[in-house]
């Protein structure tokens, strides 16, 4: 038997509710296989911060590192000043664990209603850079709160960082049917960062002659996501642009309740982290209303990442079948989870 040690960071708001169901589906998927899951829960997020002032200590980070993977629910709460948990916990995990690939698939499953009148056949994946760009936390302010305040935010981009994520995106594209990669940036305005991205895509393309590429400014990408999302196969983009377009992409494929993601350290030096892309949704927290599907799809990505491709597919197929048949029925978080567990068991 293979022992998989999973760090669980359920987090805030609906995070705890959806992770609970995600874990039940994970167990169901592994029942009968020779892999066994051991979980360690890490009580991190708003509760912990209020109690201790801690976001993520070095010790906790080291403890998390000793796991094979991380399942995360959602981080953030209105009672905590904006940025404290995002920068001090969620982004700290992504950066410290060198999650340079933030993988966000977008598929319009059968049975799911898109807000678009004619969405077409939507099935693409966004490879969002996870450790650079405007997310590095390299900003500051002087004369804060006075009429002379100046605040800056620096986007940092390195050839090393851009090349590795671009190569990953080409690898992904090469494995797919359409083998098409779209770079999304804004190189006509952010010329230094943008040209680094562009040159890198051109250079790495030489290693993947089968993959076709094109380029879209981020503003144009937001248009195509609405007018012709079927044009996309793989998108590679920076941390901030990736944040923005993946939310729009989730919206057109049925909403935040269905969008899973993986923060991957492809080198395997550190555990990768799997999380729904939605937030903690304080407005519906504690009511059993949250859709755990995004978390369950993240669990499927987790299984795939651990080399359990069959189990991963079984979970994704369970989700697909559930979506195809759910219609307008309203179920609780636990009910959706139970239905998915039943489908995974088969």
Ligand X SMILES: CC(C)[C@H](C(=O)O)[C@@H](O)C(=O)O
Binding site for its own copies (CB under 8 A): 76, 82-83, 86-87, 91, 114-118, 134-135, 139-141, 143-160, 163, 186-196, 198-199, 218-220, 222-223, 225-227, 240, 243-248, 250-252, 255-256
Q: Find the shortest distance in angstroms from Cβ 75 to ligand X.
A: 6
The reply, when asked if residue 219 is annotated as ligand binding, is: yes
Known catalytic membership, residue 186: yes
- By CB under 6 A, tell whether 76 contacts ligand X: yes
Q: Is 289 known to sit in a ligand binding site?
A: yes
- Number of Cβ within 10 Å of residue 59's Cβ equals 9
Q: How far is the CB of 174 from its own copies (least distance, A)?
A: 22
Q: Any idea which residue has 């629910």 for tokens?
A: 73
Q: Residue 248, interface with ligand X (CB under 6 A)?
A: no
115 binds, among ligand X, its own copies, none (CB under 5 to 8 A by kind): its own copies
CB of 104 to ligand X, least distance (A): 8
Is 11 annotated among the ligand-binding residues?
no
**Does residue 269 touch ligand X according to CB under 6 A?**
no
Name the strand (E) or helix (H) holding 182.
strand 180-185
Looking at residue 230, what DSSP letter applies? G
Long-range interactions of 325-333: CB distance < 8 A, separation 24+: 325/111, 326/111, 327/111, 332/288, 332/289, 333/14, 333/17, 333/18, 333/20, 333/21, 333/288, 333/289, 333/290, 333/291, 333/292
From the list ligand X, its own copies, none, partner contacted by residue 114 (C-beta under 5 to 8 A by kind): its own copies
Q: Catalytic site residue 219?
A: yes
Selected binder of ligand X within 12, 68, 238, 243 (CB under 6 A): 243
Given 107, 186, 233, 304, the catalytic residue: 186
| Catalytic annotation, pick one of 68, 135, 322, 339 | 135
Is there a binding annotation on residue 29?
no
Burial class from Cβ neighbours inside 10 Å (0-12, 13-18, 19+) for residue 171 reads middle
Angle at which helices 239-252 and 218-227 pack, to 10 degrees? 10
Nearest of 126, 13, 135, 6 to residue 73 by alpha carbon: 13
189 binds ligand X (CB under 6 A): yes
Catalytic residue flag (residue 215) = no
For residue 85, the minimal CB distance to its own copies (Å) is: 8
Q: Yes or no: say if 256 and 277 are a contact pair by the CB < 8 Å rule.
A: yes
**Residue 86 in the binding site for ligand X (CB under 6 A):** yes
Nearer to ligand X, 90 or 101 (CB): 90
The answer to whether 284 is a known ligand-binding residue is yes
Shortest distance (Å) from residue 257 CB to ligand X: 15
Task: Please state, as a whole number, how many other Cβ atoms lie within 10 Å of the Cβ of residue 262.
Answer: 22
Sheet holding 234-237, edge to edge: 35-41, 2-11, 69-74, 272-276, 260-264, 101-107, 123-129, 234-237, 180-185, 212-217
84-87: which pairs have CB atoms within 8 A and are 24 or more residues apart? 84/49, 84/55, 85/12, 85/45, 85/46, 85/49, 85/55, 87/137
Calpha distance 258→228 (Å, rounded): 20
146 binds ligand X (CB under 6 A): no
Q: Which residues are catalytic?
A: 135, 186, 219, 243, 247
Given the rule CB under 6 A, which residues bind ligand X? Answer: 76, 86, 90-91, 188-189, 219, 243, 277, 279
Binding-site residue set for Mg(2+): 219, 243, 247
Binding-site residue set: 94, 104, 128, 219, 243, 247, 279-291
């Amino acid at each position: 038997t293979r022992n998989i040690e999973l760090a669980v960071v359920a987090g805030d708001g609906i995070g705890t509710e959806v992770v609970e169901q995600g874990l039940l589906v994970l167990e169901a998927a592994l029942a009968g296989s020779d892999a066994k899951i051991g979980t360690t829960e890490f009580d991190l997020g708003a509760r912990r911060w209020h109690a201790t002032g801690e976001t993520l200590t070095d010790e906790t980070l080291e403890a998390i590192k000793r796991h094979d993977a991380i399942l995360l629910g959602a981080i953030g709460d209105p009672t905590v000043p904006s940025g404290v948990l995002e920068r001090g916990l969620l982004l700290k995990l992504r950066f410290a664990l060198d999650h340079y690939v933030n993988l966000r698939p977008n598929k319009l499953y059968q049975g799911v209603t898109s807000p678009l009148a004619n969405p077409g056949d939507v099935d693409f994946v966004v490879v969002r850079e996870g450790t650079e760009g405007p997310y590095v936390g390299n900003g500051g302010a002087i004369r804060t709160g006075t009429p002379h305040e100046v605040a800056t935010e620096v986007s940092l981009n390195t050839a090393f960082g851009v090349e590795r994520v671009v190569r990953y995106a080409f690898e992904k594209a090469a494995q797919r049917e359409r083998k098409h990669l779209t770079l999304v940036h804004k190189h006509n305005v952010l010329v230094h960062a943008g040209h680094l991205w562009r040159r890198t895509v051109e250079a790495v393309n030489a290693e993947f002659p089968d993959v076709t590429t094109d380029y879209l400014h981020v503003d144009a990408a937001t248009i195509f996501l609405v007018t012709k999302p079927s044009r996309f196969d793989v998108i590679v983009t920076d941390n901030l642009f990736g944040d923005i377009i993946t939310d729009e992409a989730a919206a057109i494929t049925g909403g935040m309740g269905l969008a899973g993601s993986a923060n991957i350290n492809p080198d395997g030096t550190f555990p990768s982290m799997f999380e729904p892309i939605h937030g903690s949704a304080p407005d519906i927290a504690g009511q059993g209303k949250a859709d755990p599907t995004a978390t369950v799809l993240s669990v499927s990505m987790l299984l795939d990442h651990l080399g359990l491709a069959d189990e991963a597919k079984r979970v994704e197929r369970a989700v697909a079948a559930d979506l195809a048949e759910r219609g307008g029925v309203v179920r609780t978080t636990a009910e959706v989870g139970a239905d998915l567990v039943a489908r995974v068991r088969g």
